Amino acid sequence: MSTVLESIIEGVLEDVAQRRIPAGKLAEQLSSAPKVIDALAALSAPGTSVIAEVKRASPSKGDLAKINDPASLAEEYQAGGASIISVLTEERRFKGSIADFTAVRERVTLPLLRKDFIVTEYQVMESRAIGADLQLLIVAALSKSQLKDYFQMTHELGMNSLIETHNEDELEIALNLGAKIIGVNSRNLKTLEVDPLAFDRLLPKIPSGVIKVAESGIASRGDVSHIEELGGDAILVGETLVKASNAGVGIQTLLGH
């Protein structure tokens, strides 16, 4: 029986095959892509940084919110004090799209994280072509050689990488890679179960000088305070913000402002 992660990747590969464009056309898009905005600098600012996510659905929760105008939501995030905006581009389980990403890119000036299951070289180049500044690379979704290759490619293209980990072994891989931005996701993508102690176990093991991002299950100021006590630098929040009546106020509430 395949894991949830394997099933998602299978769908992603099918979707990539369908939208793939010739190498020459992709090279053209890369040459005219929006200038890279420094995501590492944005996350290195004093205080807790918020990566606010445009997210319609998830495999664990199903539909979360109707987002008819992702760019308008992104503008609320920017006005509310987000440091980075994350846009889901995975279509099947998260109901995101490249169109969502490009719409947001046209309307906000913050760095953008492309949130997807990056499992091909093509997607790495595609991320830069659509204007991504930061790209998610999930240790659990890639072989060590793929992770190393895509990490190098990402940086050669001028972007930064958010390397996502779920356990000690994956964290060791991310550190050996030389990652400057490491995420700890408390949700296991193979089973969708949440490990409430993942942040407690892993965040303190990430050395200073590396940006520590807490992902999943962050719903209150208390959650954020706990992450700050553990040495976290940033939080990635989707569900709580897309369900808030005012996304900007939601960000300020999480930050305790």
Please give the chain's pLDDT, 257 residues, in tens. 578 899 999 999 999 999 999 989 999 999 999 999 999 999 999 999 999 999 887 777 777 778 889 999 999 999 999 999 999 999 888 999 999 999 999 999 999 999 999 999 999 999 999 999 999 999 999 999 999 999 999 999 999 999 999 999 999 999 999 999 999 999 888 888 888 899 999 999 999 999 999 998 899 999 999 999 999 999 999 888 888 889 999 999 999 98
Report the number of distinct structural domains present in the chain.
Answer: 1
d(CA 157, CA 111): 15
User: Closest Cα partner for 113 from 93, 138, 79?
Assistant: 138
Does this model's pTM top 0.85? My answer is: yes
pLDDT number for residue 75: 96
pLDDT number for residue 1: 55
pLDDT number for residue 58: 77
13: containing domain: 4-255
d(CA 108, CA 39): 14
pLDDT number for residue 177: 96
Tell me which amino acid residue 14 is.
E
Query: Could you tell me which residues come within 8 angstroms of residue 150 by beta carbon, excluding any fewer than 6 positions away?
Result: 118, 121, 124, 137, 142, 161
Tokens of 23: 């190498």
Q: Annotated active-site positions, please?
A: 53, 55, 115, 164, 185, 215-216
135: domain CATH number? Answer: 3.20.20.70
Q: Which residue blocks in 81-231 are alpha helix, DSSP H? A: 98-107, 121-129, 144-156, 168-177, 198-202, 221-229
